[in-house]
């Protein structure tokens, strides 16, 4: 096998597929490698841990077609270390030579026949605007759990909703819901649970794409991003089996208290006050007609307090939140102004954008004395 391409082109292809590579290969050492195949006028790079598979494809000049498996992390480090410009890769028997200018590396390869046969994507293609999908993922993925002992909560629920698509994620402390009108990926009443890790990786490669093709199989889902030029990416991930919590019952039907505030002003004040919220201390939000006061107190360290302008209707109320979760919710809401709706100091609160009803972020308060 022999091919030639620009360093940055190869690095982009290795980097995209490399995000799916198993850390140490797990039970299959070959999965710590990247399968590369040169044919016709392109190179396909595959990385997988069997749950998540990413294939990237770029145009290269192929001198001799063929396939091999390179150590994933080391191959990326070698290519990254080279100076910008043309790179030539050739594989002979069990050794790959990577050369550029006066630099040359000889790298032992892995047996390509040991790399597992990965199933091809199944299901009909449905197209979704990449910009809309990326915006929804940015608002929702961060609310999924990272605790593998509760696998259901590590996923993002995709469900058909009002002739569109709804994305839902929760870690039991907060809940994010985003509607994408007009995105008919699923049939009426249909829903799937996709690992948040896979959707986080999808978000990384959506930049610059206009369209995403989605294929829903029996046990997996595939996303295909094929820009007009440059890197094409195909990502397949296994679906999570199980029943997602009934999130609708977590959202109170009405909120007697409503705070409206400038989003950036709230974020800046929260970040400052958070400096004194040490040792998992919450931030207290005291809401009244006079505005909003933020306060954080850490015993034996000190306290911070800041007042910002806000519009408030309802009874005076102090409610406490995890500052990081509050910041993430305010960051995810779009627009200049957002609302914080509350029932009391113990029931879930909701952050919404005043610019549209598509996004909702529910946040559990922290009980304080």
Here the CATH number for the domain that contains residue 289 is 3.10.150.10
Three-point CA angle 221, 233, 203, nearest 5°: 70
Residue 95 lies in a domain: yes
Residue 29 lies in a domain: yes
Model pTM score? 0.89
Are 229 and 138 within one domain?
yes
Are 91 and 143 within one domain?
no
- Which regions of the chain are under pLDDT 70? 23-26, 227-229
Are the C-beta atoms of 87 and 100 separated by less than 8 Å? yes
Give the CA distances from residue 20 to residues 15, 70, 158, 255, in Å, rounded to whole numbers and listed in that order.
Answer: 9, 14, 22, 43
Are 99 and 151 within one domain?
no
Q: For residue range 37-59, list pLDDT tens digits in order.
A: 999 999 999 999 999 999 999 99
Residue 154 lies in a domain: yes
Are the C-beta atoms of 98 and 89 separated by less than 8 Å? yes
Are 130 and 78 within one domain?
no
Are 157 and 227 within one domain?
yes
Please give the pLDDT value at position 92.
92
How many Cβ atoms sit within 10 Å of the Cβ of residue 147? 11
Please give the pLDDT value at position 240.
95
Residue 369 lies in a domain: no
Residue 119 lies in a domain: no
Q: Around 365, how many Cα atoms within 13 Å sit in the side-chain half-sphere? A: 21
Are 7 and 61 within one domain?
yes
**Which residue in the block uniquely carries the two structure tokens 């997996």?**
220
| The pair of three-digit structure tokens given for residue 76, joined into one six-digit string | 């990326």
Q: How many domains does the chain have?
A: 3
Name the domain boundary from 248, 266, 284: 248
**Which residue in the block uniquely carries the two structure tokens 């190179």?**
43
Are 345 and 332 within one domain?
yes
Give the CA distances from residue 109 to residues 2, 78, 117, in Å, rounded to whole numbers and listed in that order.
Answer: 14, 14, 18
Are 97 and 130 within one domain?
no
Which H or E element spans position 277?
none
Question: What's the domain range around 104?
Answer: 2-114
Are 215 and 270 within one domain?
no
Are 205 and 168 within one domain?
yes
Q: Distance between CA 6 and CA 59 in Å, rounded?
A: 10
Residue 294 lies in a domain: yes
Are the C-beta atoms of 48 and 21 separated by less than 8 Å? yes
Q: 321: buried, middle or exposed (CB in 10 Å: 19+, 13-18, 0-12)?
A: buried
Residue 368 lies in a domain: no
Name the domain boundary from 58, 85, 114: 114
Are 230 and 129 within one domain?
yes
Please give the pLDDT value at position 128.
86
Name the domain boundary from 214, 248, 282: 248
Which H or E element spans position 116?
none
Are the C-beta atoms of 156 and 193 separated by less than 8 Å? yes
Q: Distance between CA 106 and CA 97 in Å, rounded?
A: 5
Looking at the DSSP bridge assignments, the partners of residue 338 are 261, 353
How many Cβ atoms sit within 10 Å of the Cβ of residue 258? 16
Q: For residue range 299-341, list pLDDT tens digits in order.
A: 889 999 999 999 999 999 999 999 999 999 999 998 999 999 9
Residue 274 lies in a domain: yes
Are 290 and 176 within one domain?
no
């Amino acid at each position: 096998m022999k091919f030639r391409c620009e360093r940055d082109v190869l690095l982009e292809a290795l980097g995209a597929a490399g995000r799916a590579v198993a850390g140490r290969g797990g039970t299959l050492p070959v999965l710590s490698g990247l399968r590369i195949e040169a044919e016709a006028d392109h190179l396909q790079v595959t990385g997988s841990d069997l749950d998540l598979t990413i294939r990237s494809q770029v145009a290269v000049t192929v001198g001799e077609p063929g396939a091999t498996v390179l150590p994933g992390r080391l191959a990326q480090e070698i290519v990254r270390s080279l100076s910008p410009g043309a790179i030539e890769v050739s594989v002979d028997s069990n050794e790959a030579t990577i050369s550029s200018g006066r630099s040359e590396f000889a790298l032992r390869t892995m047996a390509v026949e040991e790399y597992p046969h990965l199933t091809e994507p199944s299901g009909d293609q449905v197209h979704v605007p990449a910009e809309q999908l990326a915006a929804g993922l940015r608002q929702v993925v961060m609310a999924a759990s990272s605790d593998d002992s509760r696998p259901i909560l590590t996923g993002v629920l995709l469900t058909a909703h009002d002739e569109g698509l709804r994305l839902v994620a929760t870690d039991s402390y907060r809940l994010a819901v985003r509607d994408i009108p007009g995105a008919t990926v699923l049939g009426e009443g249909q829903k799937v649970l996709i690992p948040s890790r896979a959707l986080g990786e999808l978000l990384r490669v959506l930049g610059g794409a206009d369209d995403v093709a989605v294929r829903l199989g029996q046990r997996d889902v595939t996303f295909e991003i094929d820009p007009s030029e440059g890197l094409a990416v195909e990502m397949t991930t296994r679906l999570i089996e199980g029943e997602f919590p009934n999130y609708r019952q977590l959202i109170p039907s009405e909120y007697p208290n409503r705070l409206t505030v400038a989003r950036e002003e709230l974020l800046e004040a929260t970040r400052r006050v958070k400096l004194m919220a040490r040792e998992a201390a919450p931030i207290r939000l005291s809401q009244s007609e006079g505005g909003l006061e933020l306060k954080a107190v850490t015993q034996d360290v000190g306290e911070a307090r800041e007042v910002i302008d806000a519009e408030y209707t309802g009874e005076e109320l102090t409610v406490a939140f995890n500052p990081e979760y509050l910041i993430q919710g305010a960051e995810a809401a779009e627009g200049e102004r957002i609302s914080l709706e509350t029932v009391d100091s113990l029931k879930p609160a909701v952050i919404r954008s005043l610019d549209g009803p598509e996004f909702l972020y529910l946040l559990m308060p922290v009980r304080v004395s």
